[in-house]
Amino acid sequence: MSTLTEITPEILAKYQPVIGLEVHVQLLTASKAFCGCVNQYGGEPNTHVCPTCLGLPGALPVLNRQAVEFAVLAAKAIHCEIRETSVFSRKNYFYPDSPKGYQISQFDKPIAEHGWIDVPDAEGKPKRIGVTRLHMEEDAGKSVHDGFADSVSRTYIDLNRCGTPLVEIVSEPDLRSPDEVFEYLTRLKEILLYTGVSDCNMEEGSLRCDANVSVMLKGAKEFGTKAEVKNVNSFRYIRAAVQYEIERQVGVLEDGGRVVQESRLWNNAEGRTFSMRSKEQAHDYRYFPEPDLPPLVVGAQWQVEILKSLPELPEARRARMIAEYGISAQDAATLTATREFADRFEKAAKKVAANPPAGNQSLATLARTAKSPKRLAAIMLTEVTPRLRVAGLDWKHSPVTTLGLVLAADLAESGDLSSKMLKQLLDICFEKNEDFPAVYEREKPQQISDASAIEKMIDEVIAANPKQVEQYRGGKKTVSAFFVGQVMRLSKGHANPALLNELVVKKLDS
Ligand SMILES: [Zn+2]
């Protein structure tokens, strides 16, 4: 690999990388794909097994209806067409953690094809990446190579994962850079999480990705020979592995060699890929239609039923939230990062805009004066989220509930609560694990809303700062903020901000 140091940006720029991705996604069904065993990560080894997923002679598979519904949902969410009649096939190969000697998969008639996902390109413009197909299959068990006293000489087999329902999502070779790979995977995961068909937990192997990478001289008509980088367990590592692989292949070609078709493994500690096995000859899996399963028919009516549970997807939701709540694109992106977070925001935002719950006097008063989803977004993103992070909590365990968020946003928006006081109250919520309304009622700062008291303080500040008064009266109106700050300090943060603002300008203008 001595050539790598010589790969300059100029040399790299002569080549066009071409990348396609194969993503395996475990479905969150209650039971496995073809038997009644529980579909659950972990567990005592070889306890989630039965004659069917162990591949014992005579045991017959029965297709899990929920797995089909999840596959259809995932496929529709990435704009695939559903094939009404798809066929399961046997993919024959021997591997110790696959006791049947074959995998039930789909081959020439997958359940879905011709989809796409939009990703931002280098300039941030949307670029459409084709999805060739989405097909259903089953997962294999696991070979356990370490953790036992005799692991040096033995490998153990855990078949709990055997028969877990999967979808494999194969992209077109439309990706052109490691960054596009990263974006594609990020979007795909976000979409799948929204549909709820998988938890996409990469550490537990719920989402796994292989990348097919090749390079060709720019302007060439034919793709170069591809190498497959297998089973990298984070998007960042995949981006690094693809970058490494591009440079490695360019190095081979620049040295006058040729790229070998093979599978390679990423070693994160060393930051490089290693040859795993040659793929000089395409595998002969001897596919044939699975004789123990009839063709799968997902008719129009069933499709309609399934699609009733397809939620609004992230891209559409962002656009709608920007329009509906007047929030920034940046805030919308953060708020829609997960469906749960977006739901939480919208639940609170609708409360801000709608009638307050009966009997809550402070809410009843405030809802008339303040309706700012924008303020709510700011409080969620810049006040509560960082406090949750520091406390090591997620939103589910936040001491500040939806109602608390609404009250905080309303008080801040109406000016009844200065940002300093808001921060103090939120700190107390987290210290004492109490919701905002309770803390507010108890610790409610003695806010000074008496105009004459505030005017007295303004007079004091004006008298002490003749230079700034001169600047203001000379036309530099922004200096009023200085006076507001000074009076706020004098009042120890208790002056009513809205009233204070109004009075400062009045005094300075008089
Ligand atoms: Zn089973």
Upper half-sphere CA count for residue 13 (Cβ side, 13 Å)? 3
Q: What does the pLDDT look like over 264-311, one tens digit per residue?
A: 999 888 888 888 876 555 568 899 999 999 999 999 999 999 999 999
SS3 436: helix
- Residue burial 395-407, b: 16+ Cβ < 10 Å; e: rest: eeebbbbbbbbbb
Q: Which amino acid is at 234?
A: S
Q: What is the Å distance from ligand 1's center to 63 Cα? A: 12
Stretch 457-463: mean pLDDT: 92
Q: What is the Å distance from ligand 1's center to 96 Cα? A: 17
DSSP letter string over 126-172? EEEEEEEEEEEEE---EEE-SSSTTTTT--EEE-TTTT-EEEEEEE-
Q: What is the Å distance from ligand 1's center to 371 Cα? A: 54
Predicted confidence (pLDDT) at residue 86 exceeds the cutoff of 70: yes
Q: What is the Å distance from ligand 1's center to 154 Cα? A: 25
SS3 23: strand
Q: What does the pLDDT look like over 11-69, one tens digit per residue?
A: 889 999 999 999 999 999 999 999 999 999 999 999 999 999 999 999 999 999 999 99
Q: What is the Å distance from ligand 1's center to 123 Cα? A: 49
Which range among 211-220, 349-358, 416-425 shows the weakest confidence by mean pLDDT?
349-358
Q: What is the Å distance from ligand 1's center to 104 Cα? A: 14
Residue 489, both tokens: 């300090």
Q: What is the Å distance from ligand 1's center to 71 Cα? A: 20
Q: Higher model confidence: residue 230 or residue 68? A: 68
> How do the residues of the chain divide into helix, strand and coil, expressed in percent and rounded to 5?
45, 20, 35
Q: Higher model confidence: residue 454 or residue 135? A: 135
Q: What is the Å distance from ligand 1's center to 295 Cα? A: 21
Cα–Cα dist 203/233, whole Å: 7
Cα–Cα dist 252/429, whole Å: 60
Cα–Cα dist 505/480, whole Å: 7
Q: Higher model confidence: residue 498 or residue 201? A: 201
Q: What does the pLDDT look like over 365-394, one tens digit per residue?
A: 443 334 688 889 999 999 999 999 999 998
Q: What is the Å distance from ligand 1's center to 230 Cα? A: 27
Q: What percent of the chain has pLDDT over 90?
A: 61
Q: How many CB atoms lie within 10 A of CB 483?
A: 24
Q: What does the pLDDT look like over 157-211, one tens digit per residue?
A: 999 999 999 999 999 999 999 999 999 999 999 999 999 999 999 989 999 999 9
| φ, ψ (nearest 5 deg) of residue 301 | -65, -40
Q: What is the Å distance from ligand 1's center to 29 Cα? A: 13
| φ, ψ (nearest 5 deg) of residue 88 | -85, 140
Q: What is the Å distance from ligand 1's center to 89 Cα? A: 19
Q: What is the Å distance from ligand 1's center to 47 Cα? A: 10
Q: What is the Å distance from ligand 1's center to 284 Cα? A: 27
Q: What is the Å distance from ligand 1's center to 45 Cα? A: 13
Q: How confident is the model at residue 1 (pLDDT cuts 50, 70, 90)?
A: very low
Q: How confident is the model at residue 2 (pLDDT cuts 50, 70, 90)?
A: very low
Q: What is the Å distance from ligand 1's center to 164 Cα? A: 9
Q: What is the Å distance from ligand 1's center to 162 Cα? A: 8
The confidence score (pLDDT) of residue 391 equals 92
The confidence score (pLDDT) of residue 94 equals 87
DSSP summary character for residue 386:
H
Q: What is the Å distance from ligand 1's center to 34 Cα? A: 7
